[in-house]
């Protein structure tokens, strides 16, 4: 769906998305890193349990929510990647304690 068209001078970091290592640029948001890796959906919805992916990329739609380092409902488009970050698909509604 997306590909990098140039290689900026930024260090690479590795994050885990649902257990799969993904190489990203240090300036990427979680949502951008996932798109670059071909992942279009980051969660299933709270009502109908349907797959959903980032929509606005500017922090207003709250569709890019994912579990980041064990904490649910983080905005993927507003969260920068960090080496070793663990990202998981958010399944439906939020759970207590995570």
> Which residue in the set 13, 22, 65, 66 belongs to the binding site for another protein (CB under 8 A)?
65
Binding mask 66-85 for another protein (x = CB under 8 A): -----xxx---xx-x-----
Binding mask 18-57 for another protein (x = CB under 8 A): -------x-xxx--xx-xx---xx---xxxx-xxxxxxxx
- Size of interface with another protein, in residues (CB under 8 A): 52
Nearest Cα to 30, choosing from 45, 13, 44?
13
In our burial notation (b when 16+ CB lie closer than 10 A, e otherwise), range 7-45 reads eeeeeebebebeeeebebbeebbbbbbbbbeebeebbee
Question: Given the complex with another protein, which of 1 and 21 has the nearer CB atom?
Answer: 1
């Amino acid at each position: 769906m997306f590909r990098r068209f140039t290689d900026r001078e930024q260090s690479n970091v590795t994050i885990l998305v649902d257990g799969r290592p993904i190489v990203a640029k240090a300036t990427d948001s979680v949502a951008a890193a996932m798109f670059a890796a071909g992942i279009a959906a980051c969660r299933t919805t709270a009502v109908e349990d349907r797959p959903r992916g980032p929509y606005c990329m500017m922090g207003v739609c709250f569709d890019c929510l994912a579990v980041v380092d064990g904490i649910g409902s983080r905005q993927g488009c507003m969260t920068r990647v960090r080496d070793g970050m663990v990202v998981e698909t958010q399944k439906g509604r939020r759970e207590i304690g995570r």
